[in-house]
């Protein structure tokens, strides 16, 4: 299957700082990517849909000014958590939609810890 | 009411057992249905899509009941390696978004 990478795989940062997470589709072009967040023992919660060349679409309750999404190329979307707080500590996972098969491929996730 | 609901489990079963999970969805416009497997601290991986007529892949069988708005996953002859969390996911007509259930944890013991 297709491969999606995420970087970094884990990150620890201090409160008030910003963290950027990258999501890349390695062997296909993805005009649409998705960002999810998963807290321990909970399901994946869709945060936003990232659209290449246009603004991201955020789910209800997700602050767009706090979670900045940029999808500047057909293979890269970035999520920046701004002014991070300890409650932002979570597992962030991206997925990329392969329109050849309409299958979503997930990245390996980024574990964020805010101290 | 959550859009997609699952019994969180855990389901503790011996090797060789047959186990079934159900997942209910609230939006009748849901169009596509999937089962994912997620291992601890890893990303979800697609196990199988669920088709209207039901489908089977080795020891795994998926069923869809549109009238009652639920999908099911049956695992026969459970293996230790089947221990994981099983997530159902649905997406709606005219959207690419996947909505996930909370997941059902399966633990297979020797």
Q: What is the mean pLDDT of chain A?
A: 93
Mean pLDDT of chain B: 92
DSSP code for B7: -
**B90 closest CA partner among B40, B43, B7, B29:** B29
User: What tokens were used for B17?
Assistant: 């057992």
- What residue in A sits closest to B42 (Cα-Cα)? A108
pLDDT greater than 90 at residue B51: no
CB-nearest partner of A43 from B46, B97, B101: B101
Residue A35: CB atoms within 10 A of its CB come to 26
CA A104 to CA A25: how far, in whole Å? 11
> Is A62 within 8 Å of chain B by CB?
no
In the prediction, which pLDDT does A43 show?
87
SS3 A52: coil
Separation between Cα atoms, residue A9 and residue A18, nearest integer Å: 16
Residue B21 has pLDDT above 90, yes or no: yes
Per-residue pLDDT at B17: 97
Q: Is B59 on the interface with A (CB under 8 A)?
A: no
List, for residues A17-72, the tens digit of each pLDDT value.
999 999 999 999 998 999 999 998 888 999 999 988 889 999 999 999 999 999 98
Best of A5, A25, A44, A47 to disrupt the B interface by mutation (most B CBs within 10 Å)?
A44
For residue A1, name the pLDDT band (cuts at 50, 70, 90): low
Residue in B8, B18, B2, B6 with CA at minimum distance from that of residue B70:
B6
For A67-105, how does the pLDDT look when each residue is reduced to its tens digit (9 = 90+)? 999 998 999 999 999 999 999 999 999 999 988 888 889
């Amino acid at each position: 299957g297709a491969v999606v990478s995420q970087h970094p795989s884990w990150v620890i940062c201090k409160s008030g700082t910003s963290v950027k997470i990258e999501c890349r589709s390695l062997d296909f072009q993805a005009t649409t990517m998705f960002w999810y967040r998963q807290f321990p023992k909970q399901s994946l919660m869709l945060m936003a849909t990232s659209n290449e060349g246009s603004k991201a679409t955020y789910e209800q309750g997700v602050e767009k000014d706090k979670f900045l999404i940029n999808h500047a190329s057909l293979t890269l979307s970035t999520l920046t958590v701004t002014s991070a707080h300890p409650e932002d500590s979570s597992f962030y996972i991206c997925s990329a939609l392969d329109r050849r098969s309409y299958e979503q491929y997930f990245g390996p996730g980024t574990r964020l810890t805010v101290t | 009411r959550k859009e997609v609901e699952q019994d969180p489990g855990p389901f503790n079963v011996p090797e060789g057992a047959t186990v079934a999970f159900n997942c209910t969805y609230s939006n009748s416009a849901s169009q596509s249905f999937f089962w994912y497997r997620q291992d601890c601290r890893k990303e979800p991986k697609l196990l199988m899509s669920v088709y209207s007529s039901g489908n089977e892949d080795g020891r795994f069988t998926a069923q869809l009941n549109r009238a009652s708005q639920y999908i099911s996953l049956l695992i026969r002859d459970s293996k230790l390696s089947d221990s994981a969390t099983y997530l159902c996911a649905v997406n709606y007509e005219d959207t690419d978004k996947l909505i996930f259930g909370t997941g059902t944890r399966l633990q297979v013991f020797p």
